[in-house]
Amino acid sequence: MAKQKRITGSMDLAEAIAVSKTYPLEVLLANYHYACEDEDSEEARNRALLISRGALYALAECPDPQTMRRMAALLRRDDDYDSTWCAPIKQRLENKTISRTERAVVLEVLTPLVLRKSTDHDPDTLNAMSALAEIYPHPLPTEIVTRCRAKLASRNFAMASTALSVILNLPTTDRDPFIPALIKLMEGKFSGNSEASWIMSRLTDHLETHGKIITAAVRNALASHDKFAKLARDFFAALPVIGERGKVFIQDVLAYIGRESVITHYKPRLIHIDPNGGTAIPALIGLVHSDSLYVRISAIDELGAYGPLAGAAQSKLTAVAEAGKGNALAFDSTAAYRALAAIRQSIPRETDGMSAVSPHVSKTGGRR
C-alpha cells in the first residue's frame, strides 16, 4: 500500500486540502480535532491548523456514504453535545450533491438542539440553526421554522441573523408568509447590515403575492434624501441577484441618480434591471449635463456600463471629456473618458454587481 502523504506546516491551505482528500473517512474525523504537538513551535502550530482545516474541507466532499452519519454520531453524546461538529456538518450540507438521506440524518440530530429551551447566547442552538440553514432541498419541520421565526427577535444579533438565514433559505412558497415581518426587520433591526441586503435580494420573488408592500418598501428606500441612505445601498447591493425582476424600479433608480449629492463609488445599477437600456440610456444622457457634478459622474458611469449600447451618448460624453481636459480635479471628465473607452469597446463592459457584504465601500477601501 502506498504511503500517505504527510501534511506539513510549510504547505498552504489548498495543498493541505488536496492531501486531506486522499485520506479515508476515519483519518479525516480524527484530523478535524487534531491537537498541536508542540505549542512552542510555529511549524507545529501551522501544521495542526492545516491538518484540522484540511479535514474540514475534505469532509465536505468525502465520497464515503457514511460520512454524515459518522459526523452526526460524534456530535451527540447522550444529553450533551459537542457542537464543534456543526462546522463540518454545515460545510458538507453546502455541498448540494450529497444525498437526501444524509440530510435527513443531520436533521434528526440537530432538531433537538434547535427546539430545546435555550438562552439567546446558546452556542449549540446557534450552531445547529446555522447548519440547518443549508438543509435545503430537504424540507424543514414546521416546528423548526416556527422556532427560527421566534429567534428573529433575539437580542443576540448573531442568533437573529442565523435564524434569518434559515427563513431566507426556505423554498419561496414556505418563505412567503414571512415577507411582511422580514420587511419590518429590513427597515429596522437589520437596516444597514448585510442581513438587509439578504432580505432585499429575496423580495422580488414575492412581488406577485406581496407586490404592494414590497414596492412601497423599495420606493421608500429609493426616495430617501439622506445621501447615505442605508436601505437604498442594500437595494443596490442586491441588484445583481434581483436582475430584470426589478424593472418596475427603473424610474425610481433614475430619480435617485438625479439626486446624487456625493461621489458614491457604486457599481453600475441600471444595467441589472434594464439590461438593454431602452428606458435608462435616454434618461441618463439627459443627466450628463446636470448642474450637479455628482449626478454627472453617476450618470456617466452608468452609461459606461452599457458599453456599445450607449453609443448615442458619445457626443455628450466627448464634450464633457474635452471640457475638463488637463484639469486633474475634473472628475466628470475622467469618468467621461472612461465611459467612452467602454462604449468603443476598448475595455470590457462593467456589469459586476456590488458586494452584498459591503455595498458601500469606496475604491480606496474605506466607508463613504
CA-based diameter of the chain, in Å?
Answer: 77
State residue 229's pLDDT score.
Answer: 73
Q: What is the pLDDT of residues 157-215, one digit of tens each?
A: 999 999 999 999 999 999 999 999 999 999 899 988 889 989 988 998 898 899 999 99
Considering the chain, what is the average pLDDT of its residues? 87
Residue with cell 435608462: 280
pLDDT band at 353 (very low <50, low <70, confident <90, very high): very low
Give the 3-state secondary structure of residue 77: strand
- In angstroms, the Cα distances linking 255 to 219, 270, 279, 283 are 11, 12, 13, 10
Q: Are 60 and 94 in contact (CB under 8 A)?
A: yes
Region 236-246: mean pLDDT is 90
Q: Are 126 and 158 in contact (CB under 8 A)?
A: yes
Listed in order, strand segments (DSSP E) in the chain are 76-77, 80-81
Asked whether residue 350 carries a pLDDT value surpassing 80, the answer given is no
Cα 167 to Cα 114: distance, rounded to the nearest angstrom: 14
Strand partners, 77: 80
Who contacts 280 (Cβ-Cβ below 8 Å, separation ≥6)?
250, 254, 270, 271, 274, 302, 306
Residue 14, C-alpha cell as written in the block: 489548498
Q: Are 214 and 204 in contact (CB under 8 A)?
A: yes
Give the 3-state secondary structure of residue 367: strand
Q: Say what the pTM is.
A: 0.74
pLDDT band at 365 (very low <50, low <70, confident <90, very high): very low
> Positive or negative, the Cα torsion across 358, 362, 363, 366?
negative
Q: What is the pLDDT of residues 139-168, one digit of tens each?
A: 999 999 999 999 999 999 999 999 999 999
pLDDT band at 275 (very low <50, low <70, confident <90, very high): very high
State residue 17's pLDDT score.
Answer: 96
Kindly report the backbone phi and psi dihedral angles of residue 80, in degrees, each rounded to the nearest multiple of 5, phi listed first: -115, 155
pLDDT band at 14 (very low <50, low <70, confident <90, very high): very high
Give the 3-state secondary structure of residue 356: coil
Strand partners, 80: 77
State residue 339's pLDDT score.
Answer: 95
Region 106-117: mean pLDDT is 90
Cα 123 to Cα 338: distance, rounded to the nearest angstrom: 50
State residue 226's pLDDT score.
Answer: 62
> Would you say how long the chain is, in residues?
368
Work out the angle at residue 160's Cα, subtended by the Cα atoms of residues 153 and 136, and round it to the nearest 5 degrees.
Answer: 120
Asked whether residue 84 carries a pLDDT value surpassing 90, the answer given is no
Which of 359, 362, 275, 288 has the alpha carbon at shortest distance from 320?
A: 288
Work out the angle at residue 366's Cα, subtended by the Cα atoms of residues 360 and 368, and round it to the nearest 5 degrees.
Answer: 50
Residue 326, C-alpha cell as written in the block: 488637463
Cα 201 to Cα 311: distance, rounded to the nearest angstrom: 31
Cα 306 to Cα 355: distance, rounded to the nearest angstrom: 20
Which of 250, 251, 329 has the alpha carbon at shortest distance from 297?
A: 329
Kindly report the backbone phi and psi dihedral angles of residue 197, in degrees, each rounded to the nearest multiple of 5, phi listed first: -65, -40
pLDDT band at 76 (very low <50, low <70, confident <90, very high): low
C-beta atoms surrounding 205 within 10 Å: 18
Region 255-266: mean pLDDT is 84
Region 69-78: mean pLDDT is 79
Which of 168, 236, 230, 232 has the alpha carbon at shortest distance from 205?
A: 168
State residue 346's pLDDT score.
Answer: 52
Q: How many CA atoms lie within 13 A of 26 on its CB side?
A: 0
> Positive or negative, the Cα torsion across 134, 135, 138, 139?
negative
State residue 327's pLDDT score.
Answer: 81
Q: What is the pLDDT of residues 316-335, one digit of tens each?
A: 999 999 988 878 778 999 99
Q: How many CA atoms lie within 13 A of 22 on its CB side?
A: 10
User: Which run of H or E residues covers position 42?
Assistant: helix 42-61
Residue 130, C-alpha cell as written in the block: 446555522
State residue 349's pLDDT score.
Answer: 46
